[in-house]
Structure 1
Amino acid sequence: MSRAIVLIVALLAAVLIPALLGGGETWSRLGHFPLTWLLVMFGMILLCWLINTLRLRLLLGDQRDRVSPVKSLGVVMAAEFAYCATPGGSGGPLTIMALLARNGVRPARGSAVFAMDQLSDLLFFLCALSGIFIYALFQHLSQRMEWMLTVSAVSMFAGLFTCVLVARYHRLLIRLSGRLLIRLNIKPATRLRWARKLLHFLAAFTDTLKLPWQTLITVFALTCLHWALRYSVLYLALRGLGADVQWAWSFLIQMLSLSAGQFSLLPGGAGAAELTSAALLAPMVGKSTAAAAILIWRAVTYYFYLIVGGPVFLLMLGRPLLKKLLRFRQA
C-alpha cells in the first residue's frame, strides 16, 4: 500500500510540475498539438518494444527456444512497467530474471542477459555523447550547454571505467567481498551460496560474450535504433509545438533529466525528471512550450508504459500467484 501511495504522489508531482510551470497557456498549446504526431510517437514506442524483444531473444542464444516470441514481448513490456513503477527502476532487472526463470532460463543466465543489455546501452550512450561532443565543437555553446556536456561525459566515462575495473579485477573484488562478509558475521553457508551464484553469473556472462560477433553487432545496432527512436519523442513534441530545437540538445536534455530521475529514487524518476527537464528546456523555448512538451514526452515514454505494461505485468506475474493460492484453497 505504501508503494502505491508513493507512486500516486510521484505521478501527481509529474503532472503538476510542468502544469504549474506553463500556467493556463500550457493546455491551449496541448490542444493544438497535431494528433497524427502523437499517434506516430506511440507507434515509435510499440516499435521500441518489438526491437527490445528481438534484442532479448538474440542475447538468450541457445536458450531462446525456452521463451516464445509472444512471451519475450511480454517480458519486455512487464520489465518496462517495473522500471517505471519502482524506485530507481529497481524492479526491472528482477522482473526480467523472474519471468525468464519461470520459462526455464537459469537465474544466472537471466542476470547475464540483463548485464549484457545494460553494457550495450552504455556503449550506445558513449557513442552518442561523443558524437554530440564533436558536433558541439563547431557550435557556439552557452555555459549551460557546456556544463551539461561536461557532466554527461564525466558520468559516462566513469561508468565505463568502473565496468572495466570490475571485469579486470573481479577475482580481487570477490576476495575482498568475502572478507567483508566474514567481518559482518554472515554465516558460512550463506557466503558459499552467494559465491556460487556469483560464479554462475560470471560463467553465464562469459558465455554471452562468446556469442557470434554478428549477433553482438546486431544487438548493438538494435540498441542504437531503440534509443534513437525513444529519444526522438521530445524532439518531435517540440517540433509539433512549433519550437526549433536541435535533436542533439533534446537528446542531452532527456539523458540528464532521466539520470536525475534515477538518482532521486522515485518511481520512474517522476517529478525529478520533469523538474530537471523544465529547468533545462524553459530558457530555450519558453515556459509554456517547455511545459507542454514535457507533458507530451512523459505521457508517451512514462504513462503509456504504466498503462499498457501494467496489465501485462499482472498477467505474467500475478496469474501464477493466483493459481498457487487456488491450489492451496482446494487442498
Structure 2
Amino acid sequence: MKRWFWLAAALLLAVLIPLWLGGSEMLGQLQRFPATVWLAMFAMIGLCWCINALRLRLLLGAMASRLSGRRCLGTVMATEFAICATPGGSGGPLTLLALLGRHGVRPARASAVFAMDQLSDLAFFLCALGGIFFYALFHHLNHSLQWLLTLSALLMLGGLALGMAVVRWHRQVLRCNGRLLRLLGVSAGKRRRWARKLLHFLEAFSDAFKLPWPTLVKVFGLTCLHWAIRYSVLYLALRGLGAQVDWAWTFLIQMLSLSAGQFSLLPGGAGAAELTSAALLAPMVGKSTAAAAILIWRVVTYYFYLLAGGPVFVLMLGRPLLHKLKGAL
C-alpha cells in the first residue's frame, strides 16, 4: 500500500510541475493541439512495444519458440509498466524473470537476456552521445548542457567498464564478494548459493554473446529504431504546438531529463524528469509552450505506459495468483 501511495504522489507531482510552470496559457495550447498528432504519437509507442517484443525473441534465441508473439508483446508491456511504476525501474528485471520463468526460461538465462538488452541500449546511447558531441562542434552549447552531457558520457562509460570488468575478472569478484558477505555475517551456505547464481548468470551471459552476429546486429538495429522513434515524441509535441526546435536538441533534452529521473529513484523519474526538461526547454520556446510539450511528452511516454501496461501486468502476473487462491478454497 505504501508503494502505491508513493507512486500516486509522484504522479501528482509530475502533473503539478507543468501546470505550475505553464498556467492557464498552457491549457489553451493543449486544447488546440492536433488530435492527429496525438494518435500518431500513441501509434509510435505501440510500434516501440512491437519492436521490443521482436528484440526479446531474438535475444532468447532457440528458447523463443516457448513464447508466442502475443506473449512476447505482453511480457514487454508488463515489464515496461514495472519499470515505470517502481523506483529506479527496479521492478523491471524482476517482472521479466518471473514471466520468462513461467515458460521454462531459467533465471540465469532471463537475467542474461535483460543484461544484453540493457547493454544494447547502452551501446546505442554511447553512439548517440558521440553524434551529439559532433553536433555540438557546429552549435553552441551552454555550460550547463556541456556539463550534463559530459557527466552522462562518463557515467555510461563507467557502467560499461564496470560490466566488462565483472565479466573479465569474475573470479576475483567472487572472492571479494565472498569476503564481504563473510564480514557481514552471511552463512557459508548462502554465500555458495549466491556464487552459483552469479556463475550461472555469467555462463548464460557468455552464451548470449555467442548468438550469431547477424542476430546481434539485428538486435542493435532494432534498439536504434526503438529509441529513435520514442525520442521523437517530444519533437512532434513541439511541432504540434508550433515551436521550431531541432530534433537533436529534443533528443539531448530527453536523454538528460530521463537520466536525472533515474538518479532521483522516483517511479519513472516523476518530478525530476519534468523539472530537468523544463529547465532545458523553457529558454528555447518559452514557459507555457515548454510546459505543454513536457506534459504531452510524459502523457505519451510515461502515463500511457502505466495505463496500457497495468492491465497487462495484472493479467499476466495476477491470473496465476488467482488460480492458486481458487485452488486453496
Q: Distance in 2 between matches of 1:76 and 1:320?
A: 18
* 8 A contact 2:88–2:263 mirrored in 1: yes
Moved more, 310-319 or 279-288: 279-288
* 8 A contact 2:149–2:256 mirrored in 1: no
Q: How does 1:15-94 map to 2 (within 5 A)?
A: 15-94=15-94
Q: 2:126 corresponds to which residue?
A: 126
Q: 2:154 corresponds to which residue?
A: 154
Q: Distance in 2 between matches of 1:112 and 1:63?
A: 13
Q: 1:254 corresponds to which residue?
A: 254
* 8 A contact 2:25–2:288 mirrored in 1: yes
Q: Which runs of 5+ in 2 are unaligned?
A: none
Q: Distance in 1 between matches of 2:151 and 2:239?
A: 26
* 8 A contact 1:22–1:290 mirrored in 2: yes
Match of 2:87, SS? Answer: coil
Instruction: State the TM-score, normalizing by the size of structure 2.
Output: 0.98
> Which amino acid is 1:243 matched to?
A
Q: Which runs of 5+ in 1 are unaligned?
A: none
Q: Displacement of 1:217 after TM fit?
A: 0.3
Q: Distance in 2 between matches of 1:202 and 1:160?
A: 15
**1:81-136 deviation digits (Å, cap 9, x = unpaired):** 00111111100010001000011111110000000000000000000110110111
Q: 2:176 corresponds to which residue?
A: 176
Q: Displacement of 1:193 after TM fit?
A: 1.1
For these two proteins, the number of residue pairs brought into alignment is 329
Q: 2:166 corresponds to which residue?
A: 166
* 8 A contact 1:129–1:153 mirrored in 2: yes
Q: Distance in 2 between matches of 1:15 and 1:250?
A: 20
Asked whether 1:288 is paired with 2:288, we answer: yes
Q: Displacement of 1:146 after TM fit?
A: 2.1
Match of 1:93, SS? Answer: helix
> Which amino acid is 1:292 matched to?
A
Q: Distance in 2 between matches of 1:281 and 1:222?
A: 29
**1:245-304 deviation digits (Å, cap 9, x = unpaired):** 111111111111111111111111111111111111111111000000000000000000
Aligned-pair identity in percent equals 70
Q: 1:272 corresponds to which residue?
A: 272
Q: 2:197 corresponds to which residue?
A: 197
Instruction: State the TM-score, normalizing by the size of structure 1.
Output: 0.98
Q: 2:140 corresponds to which residue?
A: 140
> Which amino acid is 2:71 matched to?
K
Match of 2:263, SS? Answer: helix
Match of 1:252, SS? Answer: helix
Q: Distance in 1 between matches of 2:151 and 2:243?
A: 26
> Which amino acid is 2:193 matched to?
R
Q: Distance in 2 between matches of 1:187 and 1:307?
A: 43
Q: 1:241 corresponds to which residue?
A: 241
Q: 1:328 corresponds to which residue?
A: 328
Moved more, 164-173 or 11-20: 164-173
> Which amino acid is 1:204 matched to?
A
Asked whether 1:309 is paired with 2:303, we answer: no
* 8 A contact 1:148–1:252 mirrored in 2: no
RMSD: 0.9
Q: 2:219 corresponds to which residue?
A: 219
Q: 1:111 corresponds to which residue?
A: 111
Q: Displacement of 1:156 after TM fit?
A: 2.0
Q: Displacement of 1:66 after TM fit?
A: 1.2
Q: Displacement of 1:38 after TM fit?
A: 1.0
Q: Displacement of 1:164 after TM fit?
A: 2.3
* 8 A contact 2:167–2:202 mirrored in 1: no
